[in-house]
């Protein structure tokens, strides 16, 4: 039914708020038996790739755009590593308002670029990284500095608790600009105050090693990672993310690109879920913590699979072999099948 309708009571919605809706939210919380067994835990993936623009960004964007319209604004602008731009462009298209997006030139996954262009946004490629594009956007009203984005994103936590009937023991999440981890923490806390859950999770944030300012505790001037969605050196919501981790007795950890790509393959081939590289940082981290004997046996863990794997076909194809080509004869087919 869409986030605004589903969680109307918990959101800052008035009679004057337009009913913006692309049927976002209510994404599946998928139990992953094979990966759970490998790790000795109960592991669920919240597949945010099922949102209309293919990432979690739609949860906050729907509210941000609705409030912008309510306030009389008639255009939106954002800086993005790709998903925010796709989401902003989609909601702007649905409402018939112009959308301007600033992207780091050459560092956005193909699918995300195709989306922003197809939805009809004006796409501006900045010869610099995301952090610089965000500075330039300045009045970037739909970036996660926009409070409505983070409020809308709380709905992910509410859905998890509604489905599980409790909060998980650990909440594992990739961290880039650090908005989503902060939003989830606020969402869990709100449910706790309302008495809907009686325990809060530990917030476990995962960054890519080449873009890990929250792990190293200093800005990273030249962030670099294959997980382009989280290729961010100076997260805007760093203070909120630090508070979430310290209040929940959680941790920030980093993983290498190689570990991220390995986790992406495991999630697809043992879980049946194809998520984009950034989304696989948490699984990479859990695998690493298991190896370090820091993953408690039997706990319930939810990981947020923030974006759809289809958004970045280039990275996926560089990791897997080519299809086996055969002539159109039964003989050829039998030969191939017997090889297996
Ligand atoms: N995963 C994906 C797929 C993302 O696109 C992002 C952020 C994150 C994780 C990190 O979330 O920034 O709230 O800590 N993407 C932003 C964008 C920066 O522009 O699309 P965060």
Question: Average per-residue pLDDT in the chain?
Answer: 96
| pLDDT for position 258 | 98
Q: Is residue 331 part of a domain?
A: no
Protein residue closest via CA to atom 9 of ligand 1: 174
Answer for the pair 313, 111: CB distance below 8 angstroms, yes or no. yes
Is 207 touching ligand 1 by the criterion CB < 6 Å? no
- pLDDT category, 139, cuts 50, 70, 90? low
Q: Are residues 274 and 125 in the same domain?
A: no
- The domain that holds 190 is classified in CATH as 3.40.50.1100
Residue 333 phi, psi dihedral angles, 5° rounding: -65, -45
Is 308 touching ligand 1 by the criterion CB < 6 Å? no
Q: Is residue 36 part of a domain?
A: yes
| pLDDT for position 146 | 86
Beta-carbon count within 10 A of 158 CB: 22
Q: Please check the confidence at residue 141 and state whether its pLDDT lies above 90.
A: no
- pLDDT category, 259, cuts 50, 70, 90? very high
- pLDDT category, 50, cuts 50, 70, 90? very high
What distance in angstroms lies between residue 18's CA and the mean position of ligand 1's atoms?
26
Structural domain tally of the chain? 2
Which of 51, 59, 77, 81 is the best mutation target for the ligand 1 pocket, counting ligand atoms within 8 Å of the beta carbon and taking the most? 81
Which atom of ligand 1 is the closest one to the Cα of 179? 13
Which atom of ligand 1 is the closest one to the Cα of 143? 19
Q: Is residue 334 part of a domain?
A: no
Answer for the pair 112, 313: CB distance below 8 angstroms, yes or no. no
Q: Are residues 253 and 136 in the same domain?
A: no
- pLDDT category, 211, cuts 50, 70, 90? very high
Instruction: Give residue 149's Cα distance to chain centre.
Output: 13
**Residues 164-185 pLDDT 10s:** 999 999 999 999 999 999 999 9
Q: Please check the confidence at residue 338 and state whether its pLDDT lies above 90.
A: no
Q: Are residues 226 and 298 in the same domain?
A: yes
Give the Cα separation of 35 and 264 in Å (integer): 12
| pLDDT for position 339 | 59
DSSP string of 115-177, one letter each residue: HHHHTT-EEEEESS-HHHHHHHH-S-TTSTTSHHHHHHHTHHHHHHHHHHSS--SEEEEE-SS
Strand pairing category for 76-79 and 42-47 = unpaired
Which of 53, 82, 177 is the best mutation target for the ligand 1 pocket, counting ligand atoms within 8 Å of the beta carbon and taking the most? 177
- pLDDT category, 140, cuts 50, 70, 90? very low
Q: Are residues 201 and 116 in the same domain?
A: no
Is 129 touching ligand 1 by the criterion CB < 6 Å? no
Q: Is residue 328 part of a domain?
A: no
Domain boundary among 146, 169, 196: 146
* DSSP-H helix ranges across the chain: 3-6, 33-39, 57-70, 83-95, 110-118, 130-137, 147-153, 155-164, 179-193, 213-216, 238-247, 257-271, 281-291, 313-317, 330-338
- Residue 248: strand, helix, or coil: coil
What distance in angstroms lies between residue 325's CA and the mean position of ligand 1's atoms?
37
């Amino acid at each position: 039914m869409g986030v605004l309708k589903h969680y109307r009571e918990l959101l800052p919605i008035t009679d004057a708020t337009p009913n913006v809706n692309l049927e976002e939210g209510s994404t599946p919380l998928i139990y992953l038996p094979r990966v759970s067994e490998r790790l000795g835990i109960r592991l669920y993936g919240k597949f945010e790739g099922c949102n209309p623009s293919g990432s979690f960004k739609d949860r906050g964007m729907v509210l941000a755009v609705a409030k912008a319209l309510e306030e009389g604004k008639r255009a939106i602008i954002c800086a993005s590593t790709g998903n925010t731009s796709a989401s902003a462009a989609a909601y702007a298209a649905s409402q018939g308002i112009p959308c301007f997006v600033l992207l780091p030139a050459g560092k956005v996954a193909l699918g995300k670029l195709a989306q922003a262009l197809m939805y009809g946004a004006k796409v501006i490629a900045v010869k610099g990284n995301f952090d610089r594009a965000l500075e330039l956007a300045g009045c970037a009203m739909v970036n996660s500095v926009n409070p409505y984005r983070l409020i809308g994103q709380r709905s992910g936590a509410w859905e998890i608790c509604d489905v599980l009937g409790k909060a998980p023991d650990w909440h594992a999440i990739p961290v880039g600009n650090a908005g989503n981890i902060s939003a989830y923490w606020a969402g869990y806390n709100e449910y706790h105050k309302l008495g809907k859950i009686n325990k809060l999770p530990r917030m476990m944030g995962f960054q890519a090693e080449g873009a890990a300012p929250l792990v190293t505790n200093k800005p990273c001037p030249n962030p670099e990672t294959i997980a382009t969605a989280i290729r961010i050196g100076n997260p805007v919501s760093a203070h909120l993310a630090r508070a979430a981790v310290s209040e929940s007795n959680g941790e920030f950890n980093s993983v290498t690109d190689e570990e991220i790509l390995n986790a992406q393959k495991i999630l697809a081939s043992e879980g049946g879920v194809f998520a984009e590289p950034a989304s696989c940082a948490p699984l990479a981290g859990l695998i690493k913590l298991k190896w370090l004997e820091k993953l408690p046996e039997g706990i319930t863990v939810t990981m947020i699979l923030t974006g759809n794997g289809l958004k970045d076909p280039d990275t996926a194809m560089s990791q897997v072999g080519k299809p086996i080509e055969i002539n159109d004869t039964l003989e050829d087919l039998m030969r191939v099948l017997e090889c297996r």
